[in-house]
Amino acid sequence: MDWEQLLADCVAFTQRLIHMPSMPFAEGEIAALIAVEMRALDFDEVWGDEAGNVYGRIYGQDRTLPTLVLNTHLDHVDPGDPSLWPVPPYSGEIVDDRIIGRGAADIKGPLAVQVYGMAALRRMGVRPPRDVVFTGVVQEEIGGAGAKFWVAHKDYEVALVILGEPSDNNLALGHRGIMQYWVQFNGRSVHASVPHKGQNPNYALADFLQKLTAAKDSLGVHPLLGSTTVTPTIIEVDTKSQNVTPAWSRVLLDFRTASESANSLQTFIQQLAGDWPITINPAWAGDVPSGDDTIYGYYTPPESEVVQQARALITEGMGREPALTSYQFATDGRHFVPYHIPIIGYSPAEEEQAHIAGESISIAKMADSLRGHVALLQGF
């Protein structure tokens, strides 16, 4: 196996991916580029779907076994002000052994590693034990429509999903879930010249936020996924008139947790609000967590067989044992949990590079990750 050539081809592919902007709802061209690349690399099947996702499959020795899935998304966030970048955001320039560009870390470099990890098997003339499918999905940055479509319409059983989200070549076994609540403080509106005749909810909201600052550290902690956090983001009132006290004031609370439930979070809110009349509503429609079930994104226990097997194979490939970690941000992995699919994250990109000006990925870490991916695909 010519590892230097594999890496050079993977780097060049990463640069071509970066050259092509692919914001949400504009992933069509990059999906076509990836499809052309996979066909050129002799994948056994390449196809797309009505959501705009792109797929590639390499057949395994035993095609009756559940499939190993490599998953990345096609979209990226806006590059922002180009003057904040050391090079043009879509240039893909290499500086100090790092590829720089919007999406380099999140997620075009990892995407290229997944595709070329699979391509390495074709170059070696070997078949993996089971089918391997690459899934490039759309709109991850705005909610995950592509991932939701794939998991709902797939026609094969899945043994494991490998997320390409940045993990610094360690194994990310999960991330916290998200729950957002509007907490509304209800008062009585009056003319601002006679405030004593009304009940101004702004005071209650201010008192609540002060108490929240002191109480937030009392929320639960997951041993791997970390502490529950709560962040007040948006504050609104019902009026735009400057001389009227509001009938209500509300704040949006963003919780990230793997140790709390909907009931425990609402109890926490109610206790801080005290006797003031409040209304608590989820910040989005549709399916929302409820009851006493723990809220989390995804979590694959360290002692599980899939984690132990994947870790051993990747260790063999990279020559070092990957640490077991978790993501701080949310991923498409949360959409696969209802389908009882095991999930881990493995990628050469560093989490702190995601979404920043000057985003980049280490070529040396891509080289290690290629070896880890090849060992994983050959042995899992």
The C-alpha atoms of residue 296 and residue 279 are separated, in whole angstroms, by 24
pLDDT value of position 285: 73
**pLDDT greater than 80 at residue 165:** yes
Q: What is the DSSP string of 264-306?
A: HHHHHHHHHHTTS-EEEEESSSSS---TTPBPEEEE--TTSHH
- Sign of the dihedral defined by the CA atoms of residues 107, 113, 116, 121, in that order: negative
**Which CATH topology does 176-282 take?**
Alpha-Beta Plaits (3.30.70)
What's the mean pLDDT in 326-350?
95
What's the mean pLDDT in 125-149?
97
**pLDDT greater than 80 at residue 153:** yes
| Mean pLDDT for the chain overall | 96
**pLDDT greater than 90 at residue 211:** yes
Tens digit of pLDDT for each residue in 14-50?
A: 999 999 999 999 999 999 999 999 999 999 999 999 9
Which of 23-27, 261-265, 292-296 comes out lowest in average pLDDT?
292-296
pLDDT value of position 240: 93
DSSP 8-state code for residue 217: G
Position 189, amino acid: S
Split at pLDDT 50, 70, 90, the class of 289 is confident
Which of 44-48, 93-97, 123-127, 291-295 comes out lowest in average pLDDT?
291-295
Q: b vs e for 155-192, b when ≥16 Cβ sit within 10 Å of the residue's Cβ? A: eeebbbbbbbbbbbbbbbbbbbbbbbbebbbbbebbee
Split at pLDDT 50, 70, 90, the class of 273 is very high
Q: What are phi and psi of 229, to 5 degrees?
A: -120, 155
Are the C-beta atoms of residues 298 and 333 closer than 8 Å to each other?
Answer: yes
**Which CATH topology does 3-170+298-379 take?**
Aminopeptidase (3.40.630)
The C-alpha atoms of residue 197 and residue 191 are separated, in whole angstroms, by 9
**pLDDT greater than 80 at residue 286:** no
The C-alpha atoms of residue 107 and residue 103 are separated, in whole angstroms, by 5
What's the mean pLDDT in 304-318?
98
Q: Which residue from 355, 360, 302 is spatially nearest to 329, judged by alpha carbons?
A: 355
Which residues are 87's β-sheet partners? none
What are the domain boundaries of the chain? 3-170+298-379, 176-282
Torsion of CA 63, 338, 106, 117, to 10 degrees: -10
pLDDT value of position 284: 81
Torsion of CA 115, 2, 159, 168, to 10 degrees: -70
pLDDT value of position 296: 87
What 3-state class would DSSP assign to 31? helix
Split at pLDDT 50, 70, 90, the class of 129 is very high
Tens digit of pLDDT for each residue in 166-189?
A: 999 999 999 999 999 999 999 999
What's the mean pLDDT in 303-317?
98
The C-alpha atoms of residue 287 and residue 58 are separated, in whole angstroms, by 35
The C-alpha atoms of residue 63 and residue 114 are separated, in whole angstroms, by 20
